């Protein structure tokens, strides 16, 4: 159960692994239906979410994101 003060960002962070799994399952299903462009679209969403999470983790750890120079 959620508490009234939880934000979308907090919930998204908490359940990010589950969301990424569901997005990949969706992409696999779309590929099986012969819709590779749609599958690619959803994989792109998953990739952006994962990359954003990585940047957030790096920022909170005090290290620059990979590929950036200090």
Residue 24 inside a domain? The answer is yes
Residue 53 inside a domain? The answer is yes
DSSP H helices, the chain, are: 8-14, 16-32, 36-61
Q: For 14-56, what is each residue's pLDDT tens digit?
A: 999 999 999 999 999 999 999 999 999 999 999 999 999 988 8
How many structural domains comprise the chain?
A: 1
| pTM of the shown model | 0.73
Could you tell me the residue range of the domain that residue 35 belongs to?
A: 12-57
Residue 18 inside a domain? The answer is yes
The helix/strand/coil state of 63 is: coil
Structure tokens at 47: 């990739």
Residue 44 inside a domain? The answer is yes
Residue 67 has pLDDT above 80, yes or no: no
Contact indicator for 39, 28 with CB cutoff of 8 Å: yes
Separation between Cα atoms, residue 36 and residue 41, nearest integer Å: 9
């Amino acid at each position: 159960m959620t508490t009234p003060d939880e934000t979308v960002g907090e919930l998204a962070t908490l359940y990010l692994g589950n969301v990424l799994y569901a997005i990949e399952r969706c992409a696999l299903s779309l590929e099986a239906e012969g819709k590779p462009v749609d599958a690619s679209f959803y994989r792109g969403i998953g990739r952006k979410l994962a990359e954003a999470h990585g940047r957030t983790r790096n920022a909170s750890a005090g290290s620059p994101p990979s590929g950036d120079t200090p």
